[in-house]
Structure 1
């Protein structure tokens, strides 16, 4: 059996034991109301056990993943369709496949999708609806080429921080995992601002890198129709097709800032390398905190507490009726009345 208390365990034990001792003392003092105080003592004990959140192992991974918020930060600049992934496929093919595979490994988790090009956009707010994530991932596409003006690899930092802070406020007991997917290519004129996230805000995840050092050409996205092209983006300084190359040093720097690992992705790679620290059954986050996959027993104590609370309310109702004054015009018979 394991415990995942809602509050620090010593606070629960200290408060619970204090209240329980008071109930037992009053049960000893007030012999006429002994049952009532013993009942209240039992309620205190059940409430303390419920706050300790006991459970037993054996649940599937989804019971652990329901305690997880997963944020995908995805590069949607023109370089995401550079054709150097696998057999001339765009990098976006690998990005989509990896997001889908990670989500499948974490059934029951809540997911959010943030895309970035010149600026960042929340494409999917944090939701447990996996279909919403799947549909948005299927529709991912690069920015329209004519609007491209250069972008920063950390432009999503503020948006990510705001979403993480909101998730922490809403569910402080849940782990927060970040997956950054991109090529690390900085095309803005200024150096990228760092991901300045408070310590403990990100519980785990990975930076996933796509592309090769040789690079690949990028098809034009005109914004019309469902496909890319015809034609490739031009490098006007050379008069030939532009080539995008991965910057793994930048990606490793981003991973260090997020306090997660870096994994280069290639066609055919399994997803397990990206799941290091986020294991099914027990989700270990940064080797410190963990979310256990277990059968929760809290509901059992909740049922007992509900039954005792109903008994308490019934007793209180009887007491109120006994103490209530008689209705107007109705006299209670005296003791000497026949």
Structure 2
């Protein structure tokens, strides 16, 4: 048997107050009947009927409900793909996000990802990181907590594995992932966010992002870092977190001095244009809230999830039927009494 509970539709404060008032009326009916039973023509049956009516009203105010479990979930028909740069230059501490405090570019990217999941509530998300290669870490899921957790684990790749920054590294994986999403949900709105400093150090010419247009409804390139730039810390080998080595910097082979990594806004604007999207540089006064897609879907669809959820289903109708019958009885009794008094 399914468990029962109370889930007041008006909330516990308002619903509880009205229920308490109904109980007070029920008590008042009994008190009045006892005090006036010798001088009144009210029958015991009428008293009991009125008490039950008030009790039913009190129960209805508390909204009796059945508790059920389900794996279904209604989600917004917007699918958001997030691609984050984890090359060594993302460790440079010259980024700002919502305040004048300076943080690393990757830390800014983490905050951006969490801003995206909170902005697109009840949507689906997929997460990809790219450095020496592009990797789809989290396939499309409505679990925004999983995406936030993924963001917390992001770290710059080890210096020894880096082969120079190439902004087209995620293209192939993005193409496959976006095509898969479009095939699975052809009516969904797909939005892509590429979060990077825009730095390209590879000698190979960058491929165009225009090939992604066919799968996208909207897109954004988000720039992190500054025009002044900063020195790139070495990332230790053999650590899963990409731990930085204090006081050691990546050197520029042409000068033998610590290299300076700078935000390349021109490249990021070009990528945004190729995708038919927009570019935003996040800083102290600009956050991801300024890069929210106006094309986000207003449609919803049901999906199945692994997590089981409890939901309450109001069961008011039996009480409403009983109350209606008692009201009809009360009205009939009043009409009969009125006719006898004529």
Check if 1:254 corresponds to 2:271: yes
2-structure distance, mates of 1:197, 1:144: 30
Q: Is the 8 A contact 1:234 1:240 kept in 2?
A: yes
Check if 1:229 corresponds to 2:245: yes
Question: Cα deviations across residues 274-303 of structure 1 (Å, max 9, x unaligned)?
Answer: 11425xxxx3xxxxxxx226899xxxxxxx
The residue that corresponds to 2:81 in the other structure is 71
Question: Cα deviations across residues 146-187 of structure 1 (Å, max 9, x unaligned)?
Answer: 121113111111111111111111111111000010111111
Q: Structure 1 residue aligned with 2:292, among 275, 299, 303?
A: 275
Unaligned runs of 5+ residues in structure 2 are 1-72, 303-342
2-structure distance, mates of 1:120, 1:271: 23
Check if 1:127 corresponds to 2:137: no
The residue that corresponds to 1:166 in the other structure is 180
User: CA shift at 1:222, angstroms?
Assistant: 0.6
Check if 1:190 corresponds to 2:200: no
Q: Is the 8 A contact 1:94 1:266 kept in 2?
A: no
SS at match of 2:234: coil
1-structure distance, mates of 2:285, 2:78: 27
User: CA shift at 1:108, angstroms?
Assistant: 1.5
2-structure distance, mates of 1:139, 1:249: 29
Q: Structure 2 residue aligned with 1:81, among 88, 91, 95?
A: 91
Taking only aligned residues, the RMSD between alpha carbons, in angstroms, comes to: 2.2
2-structure distance, mates of 1:79, 1:127: 29
2-structure distance, mates of 1:196, 1:158: 12
SS at match of 1:173: coil
TM-score, normalising length from structure 2? 0.61
Check if 1:101 corresponds to 2:115: yes
User: CA shift at 1:74, angstroms?
Assistant: 1.1
User: CA shift at 1:104, angstroms?
Assistant: 0.6
Q: Is the 8 A contact 1:157 1:196 kept in 2?
A: no
The residue that corresponds to 1:245 in the other structure is 262
Q: Structure 2 residue aligned with 1:115, among 129, 132, 155?
A: 129
2-structure distance, mates of 1:224, 1:152: 23
The residue that corresponds to 1:324 in the other structure is none
1-structure distance, mates of 2:284, 2:155: 19
SS at match of 2:180: helix
Unaligned runs of 5+ residues in structure 1 are 1-61, 284-290, 297-338
Q: Is the alpha carbon distance of 1:150 and 1:103 closer, same or farther for their aligned partners in structure 2, counting shifts above 3 Å?
A: same
Higher strand share: 2
1-structure distance, mates of 2:288, 2:232: 26
Q: Is the 8 A contact 1:111 1:133 kept in 2?
A: yes
1:314-333 correspondence runs (5 A): none
TM-score, normalising length from structure 1? 0.62
Q: Is the alpha carbon distance of 1:191 and 1:144 closer, same or farther for their aligned partners in structure 2, counting shifts above 3 Å?
A: same
1:279-290 correspondence runs (5 A): 283=296
